[in-house]
Amino acid sequence: MSEITIFVSGDFCPDRDGKLAFKDGVSPQNVFGEFYNRILKTDMAITNLEGPLTTKNNPIKKIGDNFKINPHASSLLKDAGFDLVTLANNHIYDQGQQGLNDTFKILNENGIKWVGAGKTIKEAKKPFYFDIKNQALAILNFTEVEFTCADQNHGGANPLDLIENVRQINKAKEKADKVIVIIHGGHEHHKYPSPETQKRYRFFAENGADIILAHHPHCIGGYEIHEGVPIFYSLGNFLFPPRNKKTESWFKGYAVMLNIEKNELNFEILPYEQCKNGNLSIKTKFKNSSIHREIEEISKKLKNEDIVNSKWKEYVEKKKRFLAIMSGYNKYASTALSKMGLMDYFLNENKLQYNKQFITCQAHRETARTLLEKFLKY
C-alpha cells in the first residue's frame, strides 16, 4: 500500500471585494513559491475558500464585512494544483444564495471539488469521500454558527454543532478508513484555543476524528496530540492580503502535509510568510525558522490547563467593550467608554443579567434564537 499525501492550508482570500487585479506575468509559481511543486506532487491539496466566487453584489444582512472573491481566483487554485476547497466559514454566504450558486458553478468549471456548504442544510452536511491507493478517506468541514450557516430556509455552510457533528463523524467512519475534520473556528487574533474550544475539539478526537485542523483566528496556533489524534488549533492565513495595516501575526501561517500509510498518519508542518510588503505571494520558512519555533512554543503550553485558562482570561479582558454593547450602546459609544475607562459606570446590570441567562441557559438560548430568527427573517 502506497503512502497518501494531503496538503492542508488555511484561509485563501486574495481579494475581498471582487476587484482582484493580477499583475502582468503572475503565475502560480510566483504566488505559491516553494509550495507550488509540493502541491502538484500531492494526492490531495486543500485550502479554505474564505468567501463566494461571484461578480454580483447581493450582500446579506449581517454584522461584519461582506466578502466576494473575483472568479479569476479559482483559476489560480486550479493552475496551482488544488483539488478541494473547504467552504464552511463565516463568509461563504456573504452574497446570499446567488453568490453561493455562482461559487459552485465556477468551482465545477475549474474541476475543483468542495465540502462544507450546500444549497440546502442537508447538502451542506455531506462529507467529501474519496478512494485513493486502496484507502477510503472522508473529509468533514464545520464552521462556528454565524450569518453564513445553512438552515431550514436557505443554503450555506455546515454549522458547528457538537451532537450533530459527532453523528456526521460516526457516519463517515462507517465508510472511511480515515476521517479528516476541518473546522473554521476559534477566536480572532488569539494564538491559543479557549478552554471550550479545546474541550470541543478533543471531544471530536475522542469520537472518531483521525485528525483535526482549524483556521479562522488569522494567526498561527499550536497543536497537540490527544489520544493519538493530532489537533491543529489555527493554521493562520494562507493567502490573505490585509486591508489595513496589520500586526506581524497576520502574515504568519503554516500548512500541514499529511502522510497516510496503512494505519499510520504522520504530518509535517510547513511554516511561511504571506502577502508581506503588499505582495500577493507566499515565502516558505521551514524547520528551525522563527515561525516554526513559535508554533512549538505555543504547542508546549496546551497541555497545561492553567496556561490555557490564563491566556483566555487575558484575551477576554481585551473584549470588555462587549459588555457595553450588550448594555445597549453602539460600537462607537462602547469603544469610547472603554478608552476613557468609564465603562463600569454605564453598564446596565439588569440587562446584562438577562443577556447572561439567554446565553448560558440552553432552554432560554433556544427560545431567544428562534424568536430572533423569526423577527429578523435571516
Residue-wise pLDDT for 250-304, tens only, equals 999 999 999 998 788 999 999 999 998 888 899 998 777 899 999 999 999 999 9
- pLDDT band at residue 226 under the 50/70/90 scheme: very high
Q: What CATH code would you report for 4-303?
A: 3.60.21.10
| Alpha helices (H) in the chain, listed in sequence order | 28-32, 35-41, 72-80, 96-109, 121-124, 162-175, 195-206, 290-300, 305-318, 321-326, 331-340, 343-346, 349-360, 362-376
| Predicted local distance difference test score (pLDDT) of residue 2 | 83
**6-15, 26-35, 126-135: least confident range:** 26-35
Mean residue pLDDT across the chain: 93
Quickly list DSSP for 228-295: TEEEES--BEEE---SS---GGGGEEEEEEEEEETTEEEEEEEEEEESGGG-S-EEE--TTSHHHHHH
| Predicted local distance difference test score (pLDDT) of residue 325 | 85
Q: Output the pTM of the full model.
A: 0.94
- pLDDT band at residue 360 under the 50/70/90 scheme: confident
| Predicted local distance difference test score (pLDDT) of residue 370 | 83
What is the average per-residue pLDDT within 352-360? 86
Domain ranges in the chain? Answer: 4-303, 320-376
What is the average per-residue pLDDT within 328-345? 85
Instruction: Answer yes or no: is pLDDT of 171 > 70.
Output: yes
At 361, list the grid cell.
441557559
Instruction: Answer yes or no: is pLDDT of 148 > 90.
Output: yes
- The residue count for the chain: 378
Is the Cβ–Cβ distance between 198 and 212 less than 8 Å? Answer: no
Instruction: Answer yes or no: is pLDDT of 24 > 60.
Output: no
